[in-house]
Amino acid sequence: MSVLTYKEYSGRFEYDPEADIFHGQVMNLTDIITFQGRSIDDLKQALADSVEDYLEFCAEEGKTPEKPYSGRFNVRLSPKVHQRIALEAARDGVSLNNWVAGALEKAVAELHA
């Protein structure tokens, strides 16, 4: 399965050889946004069109559109790991939040290097 992104909305898609079409759905929303196309270019345009339709629909209904990611999430750690991370952050002279965000950014960059 592959992923395309338009604005902050990411959609998974796959190819259906029987129907000879790509089809996908925007991820991480309770609202459902789907898209389809016969080529990757068609699929990119269909994702953009579907997201724009969704945003317009929400505006017409007076509804706040869902955002796939808020940039916030909670992580449960053992007290020992929490303490070790806090000490590392203090040694680096940054907040615990900034230290963890930096460590995660570095880990993701290494995965895709």
Does 21 map to a domain?
yes
Residue 32 in domain: yes
Average pLDDT per run of 10 along the chain, which is 113 residues long? 91 94 94 95 97 97 90 90 95 94 93 85
Q: How far is CA 81 from the centre of its chain?
A: 27
Q: Is residue 74 in some structural domain?
A: no
Range of the domain at 32: 2-61
Q: Which residues contact 105 (CB under 8 A, 6 or more apart)?
A: none
Name the pTM for this structure: 0.68
Per-residue DSSP letters for 57-92? HHHHHTPPPP-S--S-------HHHHHHHHHHHHHH
The number of folded domains in the chain is 2
Instruction: Using the structure block, give the residue that is written with the tokens 């997201």.
Output: 51
